Amino acid sequence: MPAETHALLSIDQHLALTQTLYREARLLDEERYADWLELLADDVHYRMPLTARRFRADRSAALAEGPGYVFDDDKGRLGLRVQRLESGLVWAEDPRNRVRRIVSNVEIYRAETDGEATVHSVIEVHRSRIDAQQRRLTAGRTDLWRLEGGSWRLVQRLIQFDHPVVIDSNLNVFF
């Protein structure tokens, strides 16, 4: 992620980017994956690291080799995930699960490069699955968005997942 500034965008750009975040959430809720992919820059890097609960005083950096991640995707891999979801053969999503994404605590700052913005947000993903099953997943996000042809596109997303144990039997969802 680029170094953080606290310079604000113009109010028009700020508004447009905020609206883009909400629109992105709705596109995903509505399973409009092709439209969602359009919001992503061609060089997008979308990742969610794996973490372990460690003591604050613990200085033993890496006990195992490399920390790993839940998502570490470029546009091609995100496309693979979408192809799977749109194959009509993912039985766990049929009938469809109802999903609502709530995006909040949005902070938007100018990035170091002109036409780019750093965006902090919190996302809450509510999944309503079979029978009475409800799942609520939360994460913090740090994004880099870029103005391309008058529209904001997602270039980087670092997702800090709040659950040391994933409390659902699948993560067929984007954050």
Partner 1 sequence: MTDYAGLVSAAGAMQRRQMYADPAVYEQELERIFGRCWLFLVHESQIPQPGDFFRTFMGEDDVLVVRQKDRSIKAFLNTCTHRGNRLCRADRGNAKAFACNYHGWAFGADGALVNVPLEKDAYFSEIDKSRFGLVEVEQVASYKGLVFGCFDRGAPSLADYLGDMKWYLDVWLDALPGGSVLLGEAQKVEIPTNWKLPVENVCGDGYHLGWAHAGAMKAVQSMDFSGFTVGNASVDLEGGLSIAGLNGHSLLATLDGVSGYSFYPDNGDIMRWLEANRPTVIERLGRVRGEKFWGSQLNFTIFPNLQFLPGLNWFRVYHPKGPGRIEQWTWAMAEQAMPEAIKQRILDNQLLTFGPAGLFDNDDGDNLAACTEQSRGWRTRQMDVYTNMAQGHSGRRPGLPGDIAVGVVSEHNQRYFYRRWQEHMAAADWRAVPQYNLNSLHAAEGLAHAG
Return residues touching partner 1 (CB under 8 A): 48, 50-55, 58-60, 63-72, 77, 80-81, 83-85, 87-92, 130, 164-172
**Least separation in angstroms between CB 8 and partner 1:** 34
Alpha carbon distance 172, 83 (integer Å): 12
Q: Phi and psi at residue 102, in whole multiples of 5°?
A: -110, 120
Strands of the sheet with 116-128, listed across from one edge: 69-73, 40-49, 151-161, 134-148, 116-128, 98-110
**Least separation in angstroms between CB 92 and partner 1:** 4
**Least separation in angstroms between CB 136 and partner 1:** 14
Q: Which is nearer to partner 1, 42 or 72 (CB)?
A: 72
Q: Which is nearer to partner 1, 10 or 87 (CB)?
A: 87
Alpha carbon distance 127, 130 (integer Å): 10
**Least separation in angstroms between CB 124 and partner 1:** 18
DSSP state of 50: -
**Least separation in angstroms between CB 82 and partner 1:** 8
Count of CA atoms in the C-beta half-sphere (13 A) of 172: 22
Q: Are 125 and 175 in contact (CB under 8 A)?
A: yes
| Cα–Cα–Cα angle for 81, 144, 115, rounded to 5 degrees | 125
Q: Which is nearer to partner 1, 6 or 96 (CB)?
A: 96
Q: Which is nearer to partner 1, 66 or 149 (CB)?
A: 66
Q: Which is nearer to partner 1, 26 or 81 (CB)?
A: 81
